[in-house]
Structures are given as C-alpha cells and as structure tokens.
Structure 1
Amino acid sequence: MVALVEGLLKGGSRASGHRRAGDMVVCGLIAATVLSSAIRLWAELGCAPDRWLHRVSDPFISRALDAMHESPGRAWSVSELAQVATMSRSSFAERFATLVGQTPASYLTDVRMESGKQVLLREHVTIADAALQLGYESEAGFRRAFQRHTGVSPAAWRTRQRAQSVPAAEALPAA
C-alpha cells in the first residue's frame, strides 16, 4: 500500500505510468488517515505528553501552559500568564477556560500537585521543602491543597507510593 501511494505521489500509477484524475486527493486522504491513526495510537499508548493537543491547537495558550509546567512554583497571576501568551487578561482567561476546560488558577494547582507528587518521591525532601519549591507560603497550605487534590495527606500519599514500589521479595518478612 505504501509503495502504491508513493508511486502515485511521484507521478502516476505503476501500471499506466501516468496520473489519473483524483490521484492526489486520494493520496492526501490516505496519508491523513495513516497519520491520524498513528497520532491516535501514540496518545492511547500514553506516549503523548499531558495536554499536548492544547499545545498544538493554540500557540498563545501553549506558551502559558509551557510556562506553568516549567515553573510551577512561581507565583503566577492571570495577568502574568496573559503577558506570556501575548494576550489581554480577559481574552486569555476566557480562551484558556474554553480550550483547557478549567481556569488558569485551577490548572496551575493541578500542575503543582502533579509536580508535588514527583518532589515527594525524592529522598530526603520534607513536605515543607516540597511546599516551598511549589510556591506555597506555608507547609499547611500545601498540605490542604494536596489533600483536596488527592484525597490524602502528602505524608500518607508518599508512604503509600513507597510501599507500592517495594519489590515483593523485600516486602516479605524474613523467615
């Protein structure tokens, strides 16, 4: 099939050596179908980065998303994110909510919580350290936000994750 499409794109069918009406349209549709299928599979297999489609669909909102992911601990305001996106504050907030499905502040909280999970898995990082890295003014504020987001405290979440990562042989008591 690929060889046939390649031949059609190069100037005609192999049988006749010339182009037929609609060859380019058919080849374009086949190429779009193959590409769409590959992208869908890539996303379904979990290979696509979070929110990748939003980044592709709107380059202005993409800038703000990238900024939040690069610096989740920064005290972002909607005005600052709008500046990054080179948009007015009101246009940015409306467009962001439409494309992403949540407000910039809510999205930033999600980014911070996901980053917080990664930080909490590191050895010798206290919950207070994690809170500071993620832009929270207090450990208590981080704890409350984390509990709202995950349903458990940061300490309980970390303990559970570490217990799940212990190989079965190590988890068994010595005989």
Structure 2
Amino acid sequence: MRPTILALDLEGTLISNAVSQIPRPGLYSFLEHVQGQFDQLVMFTTVEEGLFRRIATFLVLEGQAPAWFSELAYTQWEGTTKDLTYVAPTLGQALLLDDYRAYFHPEQEPWWIEVPLFGSPYEATDTGLRVAQECNDPLNSCSGVNFPQGDADERNDGGRDQALDRPAQVGAGP
C-alpha cells in the first residue's frame, strides 16, 4: 500500500517551537513539494489546535508557508505517543514526519520519517527539510526519505530503506 497521507509534526520539525516560532529553512518549498506528493497533509502535534492555527496564520502572513497551510487538517489525539490510527484507520496509509523519537508509537516505527531536530541556535544553514525534499527522486542516493511518487512498484526502492525494510530516514547533512 502506498502511503497517501503525510502527518506533520510542528515543533522541532517545521518550526523551532511554539514560543519562538522560527520557521525552518526551506519550509515554504518543502510544504509545496509534499502537498504535490500526497493526497492529504495533516498536522499531528502536541501544540493545541488554536495555537497551531495562530502560528500557521503568522507563517502564511510572513510568506513562510503557503496560504493553504493555515487551513491544514488538525489531528486530535491523546496518549503518550502519536498513534497513526488517529490519522488513518489502516496502518501504512499515513507516514509521520517528526523529529522526536519518544513521541512515535514503537509498533509503528516503519511509518516514521525521522528528521533532525531544528533546535537552538536555529542555523540558517539547516538542511533537514531540503534533504527530505531532494530525496524525493528515487535515483538520488542521498540518505533521506523518498516521498511517494505513484505506486511503490514504479519506484526503484519503494520509498523504503531496503536494509531495514522501513521508510528511509532523513539525514542531517546535505
């Protein structure tokens, strides 16, 4: 089954945190890219929905995110880990882009796309989202994730790390 939904974490993944709200370098182009690769994008974060909406609106007004970002579906959840069955009823329909291992449900690790933490000092040279975007090309040998492009049979590696039989993880470097 090809994942058709990408669940996005906010803090440490797309922005610094809910207090400073520094957008990660390449945020706008990354969001535009993944919107074209998945049928649906959803927000899956510990940040309350009202605060997420304010942050998203700010990012849009500042030109750091596309206009549709402020209207992104928000996933309500509870518990100590992010369970992808809150996003889609069948495991494998959704992937989670997140920087923090402790929030990922341990039995759902095959559907976790790990990105490096975007943390202080919030370098303008951070490449976490750029690497994820560039690794969309199945012929690219970088150590990142291949976001879905059609059926897995049509891609060289099915968007998976063949050695681990799980989605490849995004590297911290170029």
TM-score, structure 2 normalization: 0.23
- Whichever of the two has the greater Rg, that structure is 1
Higher strand share: 2
TM-score by length of 1: 0.23
Structure having the larger proportion of residues in helix: 1
- Relative contact order, CA 8 A, sep 6+: which one is greater? 2
